[in-house]
Chains A and B, each alone.
Chain A
């Protein structure tokens, strides 16, 4: 194949006559080692734990934990380890073959299979090992693989567990409120006229002793004191609240069947939410009033009007925390225009609706046609769009990364407003031979479907809210991996390879026309790795290629056309935008840093210039002053001048009120002259209500010497010279 033909293909997409366009069996060279996933221990299958704080655990982590418990280290535990890992492998294979069941059931059938396949002696040892391991297994739940059902199963599992936990908490609170309210009513009844009637009093005394009492007399005696303190308004109010709490349908345990909160469309979820708002408000109001009643804080003159006007605007989002959220699960490919519009409406609202959009295809065509590799809204675009709405929680992930996103999913479910879980399943049905796990991992690696979370509740700025740190090599444009292979002389060659959008497209048969396989005989220096073309200007005179492995694991170069290269550049730009939002290579920050650095350098240059002009002595003084500036501020006791300034410079008598110990000495001496303030500390209330003598005596009596008598205010008072002398010690 001539270089000119390759160049023409790159520039125009025109294939040389007779050139192959079939990519069957080929996959990016970096993915070649992963032909059989079931023989690998990785993040899948996953156990969705039942009734546990932690929602999931990977099968490999689970078995590692069992091994730690039952298999002693070293040769002693070798047989146990071998047997138990065989069981794990068998479960893994069954799940990979499409079997979906609980762990206990899968364990049972896999163990039976293994024992059935062994000879008698081996079977006995195997059974012993597996029984030991089974005894150490403390959890159960559905085992799921990374496939097109995963996102739905995972999110639904998390939502159910979260909702159940929340509902239990609120249910418990409702039960407590009801019980306490009932106790108030019971206490009121017990203290009422009927509660103090002779027959009621008789019930309160043991049968053996009843004959010793005259209950009528007793009743007459205490009925007069019975208060029945609640009053009709409060009684009725409590009964009304109790009725609301008892018949609510948001949490299980009431008299009526609870509502369902799982929906198939955004429109349904939103409409149902609106319909239930009045009931929800009633319940919020009832719970709020109940708390006030129980704390004895309800004041009819103040609270009646407040609760009469209690409408949709009254409760804050925090008041609604704990109420069930509404789950909507959508398939990206089946999203109609109407549904998409509803989805955007919901994400822009504050409704507690959680939406899962699961897509199987990120390289499909958009409704506006395959114009220079445009992509539809479904996929990465939807996540980006939701980011712009500002107040919706957004999590974007591929199924391959979902196993590590448990905390993000829980954060999304906890968010009081709407949340979007945008997931790429990797189960592309359009010509990809890769299993969903690899396909989705490739989408994440190639930045075609990057992982990120945006949590509006996490803080006030993007640093707190936005994260891209789950992506591989998030600092780089493309992840850099090592690629090792053998050349024709069986020598091991290791080189750096980058996994780009172009490599990801090479997994998809629909895009085979963008690639031209080049036989080894035609490889030349005129070819350059495709990522060089994505990261800037195309190397002049060269054509881009990606490395793939054939079915026989032979390396093959595929020349890439310019249309795909352009798509790769656009993908890189989108990824860089996300990086910037996540604080990586942020252009604003870099520009600010640059200008600050320039300013600092200018200042220093100016200072040096001044130094040169004024001589060294001044420079030394200035440097010392700068050093002083860095010292901690002197302690207040080192500042006598400041202390002097704060104290009154007057002949008027005064008290250092904030140091008064409430000892009563001065107030006992003259309670009109000295009085306590709001904090029960003394000050001079009325100077004319006492004499200078009393002032001096108070100063002498004061335990903490905070009364300063000043000068006499009545020159006619007797013995002034002696009193002034006595006062001197306190002025």
Chain B
């Protein structure tokens, strides 16, 4: 929405935030971990959007990515394993004015938190969700995750992972009310930032899958794609990501994809050996749960208290004498 002159004048008087203003504790992730790139992208987003820190909340579950809120100088909630999304939904429904971000991993989201993940897509509440997918349980020193490739030797699969990995993109694109799906890799910061920015501006549940390196347990896993940039397919569109000329030279393999085309998005997700990055799907028309449940007006604390007490009174068992007193 265009701002009028008064709004601009007032904005010019606002506090000017730098990237450092959003930096919390010093990250304890391993050197070379892809989480660092994601953290930098979000700190940059907050700076570029000049988000007041008290209006930002990062929610996480358990895993390496779970430490994300500690490193943001904003509100944060480091929650239970797999439960980042219900916590984020609770925050959003009660405080729709907050910018809600969620960090979850391939174990947190696709294993113990799967039920919440599917329903969070269906609720389509306005939040940006990053699924940090390094194909392993790194925090607990390398156990198999739902996205670990078949045959991967881990502490829990010493003879190789027997199952075909789950495809989170296809699952998300198949869920009811899906409204924003993107995939990026942590080693292309330009695309990572563009995607994060588009996801932030999408009103609804924005799901970004970040394929990222685990330098400790799967240090070479993504080498085939990192050393052969032509195996990365940039999904470009005027409504999607638009790589700069220099990036296009590094990543020459481009494919025009209209983010409104859900069927094509599913085909690309089902894909092949190349890694497609960019916006798979976007639909701003999907209704948001917080809008559907929005109160017709703001209620005063007294009104809330009154209705709350009326509701509780229905279940109260009054002590005999007090009940008589209350009746009289």
Find B13's partner among A295, A296, A306 (CB 8 Å cutoff): A306
B80 within 8 A of A: no
Of the listed stretches B109-117, B245-253, B258-266, B275-283, chain A binds B245-253
Q: A180-B298, A663-B36 are known contacts. Are A678 and B187 too (CB-CB below 8 A)?
A: no
Tell me the bound Cα distance from A316 to B10 in angstroms: 13
A345 within 8 A of B: no
Point out the residues of chain A lying under 8 angstroms from B6, CB to CB.
Answer: 288, 314-316, 318-319
Point out the residues of chain A lying under 8 angstroms from B44, CB to CB.
Answer: 679-680
A658 touches B31 (CB 8 A): no
Nearest CB to that of B13 among chain A residues? A302
For chain B, residues 32 to 68, give those with C-beta under 8 angstroms from any C-beta of chain A.
32-34, 36-37, 39-40, 43-44, 52, 54
Find A175's partner among B43, B190, B213, B298 (CB 8 Å cutoff): B298
A551 within 8 A of B: no
Point out the residues of chain B lying under 8 angstroms from A701, CB to CB.
Answer: 32
Tell me the bound Cα distance from A668 to B4 in angstroms: 46
Q: How large is the interface on B (under 10, 10 to 19, 20 to 34, 35 or more residues)?
A: 35 or more
Of the listed stretches B14-22, B88-96, B123-131, chain A binds B14-22
For chain A, residues 168 to 187, give those with C-beta under 8 angstroms from any C-beta of chain B.
172, 175-176, 179-180, 182-183, 186
Q: A637-B248, A704-B226 are known contacts. Are A659 and B188 too (CB-CB below 8 A)?
A: yes
B272 within 8 A of A: no
B215 within 8 A of A: yes
Nearest CB to that of B18 among chain A residues? A678
Point out the residues of chain A lying under 8 angstroms from B323, CB to CB.
Answer: none
Nearest CB to that of A186 among chain B residues? B301
B19 touches A659 (CB 8 A): no
Find A297's partner among B10, B186, B245, B300 (CB 8 Å cutoff): B10
A303 within 8 A of B: yes
Find A296's partner among B37, B39, B52, B190 (CB 8 Å cutoff): B52
B300 touches A661 (CB 8 A): no
A661 touches B215 (CB 8 A): no
Point out the residues of chain A lying under 8 angstroms from B249, CB to CB.
Answer: 636-637, 643, 646
Shortest CB–CB separation between residue B307 and chain A, in angstroms?
16
A665 touches B297 (CB 8 A): no
A703 within 8 A of B: yes
A668 touches B188 (CB 8 A): no
Tell me the bound Cα distance from A547 to B103 in angstroms: 82
Q: How large is the interface on A (under 10, 10 to 19, 20 to 34, 35 or more residues)?
A: 35 or more
A319 touches B54 (CB 8 A): no
A502 within 8 A of B: no
B292 within 8 A of A: no
Shortest CB–CB separation between residue A168 and chain B, in angstroms?
11
Shortest CB–CB separation between residue A633 and chain B, in angstroms?
11
Bitwise interface map of A from 632 to 658 toward B, beta carbon under 8 Å scored 1, else 0: 000111000001001000000000001
Tell me the bound Cα distance from A684 to B33 in angstroms: 21
B36 touches A176 (CB 8 A): no
B190 touches A658 (CB 8 A): yes
Q: A179-B298, A292-B10, A316-B5 are known contacts. Are A703 and B246 too (CB-CB below 8 A)?
A: no
B9 within 8 A of A: yes
B4 touches A662 (CB 8 A): no
Point out the residues of chain A lying under 8 angstroms from B297, CB to CB.
Answer: 172, 175-176
Tell me the bound Cα distance from A172 to B6 in angstroms: 22
A293 within 8 A of B: no
A664 touches B31 (CB 8 A): yes
Interface residue SS majority, chain A: helix
Shortest CB–CB separation between residue A257 and chain B, in angstroms?
23
Point out the residues of chain B lying under 8 angstroms from A316, CB to CB.
Answer: 4-6
Point out the residues of chain A lying under 8 angstroms from B189, CB to CB.
Answer: 658-662, 681
A609 within 8 A of B: no
Nearest CB to that of B97 among chain A residues? A295
A318 touches B187 (CB 8 A): no
Find A681's partner among B34, B40, B244, B248 (CB 8 Å cutoff): B40
A233 within 8 A of B: no
A299 within 8 A of B: yes
Point out the residues of chain B lying under 8 angstroms from A175, CB to CB.
Answer: 297-298
Point out the residues of chain B lying under 8 angstroms from A180, CB to CB.
Answer: 298
Find B37's partner among A292, A658, A662 (CB 8 Å cutoff): A662
A680 touches B19 (CB 8 A): yes
Nearest CB to that of A662 among chain B residues? B40
Shortest CB–CB separation between residue B241 and chain A, in angstroms?
15
Shortest CB–CB separation between residue B73 and chain A, in angstroms?
14
Find A661's partner among B5, B14, B34, B246 (CB 8 Å cutoff): B34
Tell me the bound Cα distance from A665 to B34 in angstroms: 12
Interface centre among A179, A180, A297, A661 (most CB of B within 10 A): A661
Shortest CB–CB separation between residue A459 and chain B, in angstroms?
14
Nearest CB to that of B36 among chain A residues? A662
Tell me the bound Cα distance from A22 to B240 in angstroms: 74
Find B248's partner among A314, A636, A660, A678 (CB 8 Å cutoff): A636
B32 touches A183 (CB 8 A): no
A646 touches B18 (CB 8 A): no
A703 touches B213 (CB 8 A): yes
A658 touches B13 (CB 8 A): no
B215 touches A296 (CB 8 A): no
Point out the residues of chain A lying under 8 angstroms from B33, CB to CB.
Answer: 663
Point out the residues of chain A lying under 8 angstroms from B4, CB to CB.
Answer: 316, 318-319
Point out the residues of chain A lying under 8 angstroms from B36, CB to CB.
Answer: 661-664
Tell me the bound Cα distance from A662 to B39 in angstroms: 9
B187 touches A295 (CB 8 A): no
B9 touches A306 (CB 8 A): yes
Tell me the bound Cα distance from A182 to B4 in angstroms: 28
Point out the residues of chain A lying under 8 angstroms from B31, CB to CB.
Answer: 663-665, 668
Shortest CB–CB separation between residue A255 and chain B, in angstroms?
17
Point out the residues of chain A lying under 8 angstroms from B13, CB to CB.
Answer: 299, 302-303, 306
Tell me the bound Cα distance from A295 to B188 in angstroms: 36
Point out the residues of chain B lying under 8 angstroms from A172, CB to CB.
Answer: 297
Shortest CB–CB separation between residue A63 and chain B, in angstroms?
34
Q: A658-B189, A660-B189, A678-B18 are known contacts. Are A637 and B252 too (CB-CB below 8 A)?
A: yes
Shortest CB–CB separation between residue A198 and chain B, in angstroms?
22
B54 touches A661 (CB 8 A): no
B37 touches A663 (CB 8 A): yes
Point out the residues of chain B lying under 8 angstroms from A288, CB to CB.
Answer: 6, 10
Point out the residues of chain A lying under 8 angstroms from B248, CB to CB.
Answer: 635-637
For chain B, residues 229 to 257, give those with C-beta under 8 angstroms from any C-beta of chain A.
244-250, 252, 254
Tell me the bound Cα distance from A314 to B298 in angstroms: 30
Point out the residues of chain B lying under 8 angstroms from A302, CB to CB.
Answer: 13
Nearest CB to that of B54 among chain A residues? A296
Point out the residues of chain A lying under 8 angstroms from B52, CB to CB.
Answer: 295-297
Point out the residues of chain A lying under 8 angstroms from B14, CB to CB.
Answer: 297
Tell me the bound Cα distance from A646 to B248 in angstroms: 13
A678 touches B54 (CB 8 A): no
For chain A, residues 661 to 681, give those with C-beta under 8 angstroms from any C-beta of chain B.
661-665, 668, 678-681
Nearest CB to that of B219 among chain A residues? A703
Tell me the bound Cα distance from A134 to B40 in angstroms: 66
B10 touches A183 (CB 8 A): no
Tell me the bound Cα distance from A288 to B11 in angstroms: 12
Bitwise interface map of A from 16 to 44 toward B, beta carbon under 8 Å scored 1, else 0: 00000000000000000000000000000
Give 27 pairs: A residue, B residue, CB < 8 Å, sorted on A.
Answer: A175-B298, A180-B298, A183-B301, A186-B301, A297-B10, A302-B13, A306-B10, A306-B13, A315-B6, A316-B4, A635-B252, A636-B248, A646-B246, A658-B190, A658-B247, A659-B190, A660-B189, A661-B186, A663-B32, A663-B37, A665-B31, A668-B31, A678-B18, A701-B32, A703-B226, A704-B187, A704-B226
Give me the 4 closest cross-chain CB pairs, A-B, nearest first.
Answer: A637-B252, A318-B4, A662-B40, A680-B40
B-binding residues in A (CB < 8 A) = 172, 175-176, 179-180, 182-183, 186, 288, 292, 295-297, 299, 302-303, 306, 314-316, 318-319, 635-637, 643, 646, 658-665, 668, 678-681, 701, 703-704
Known contacts A299-B13, A319-B4, A658-B189; 8 further A-B pairs (Cβ under 8 A): A295-B52, A296-B52, A297-B10, A637-B252, A660-B189, A662-B36, A664-B32, A668-B31
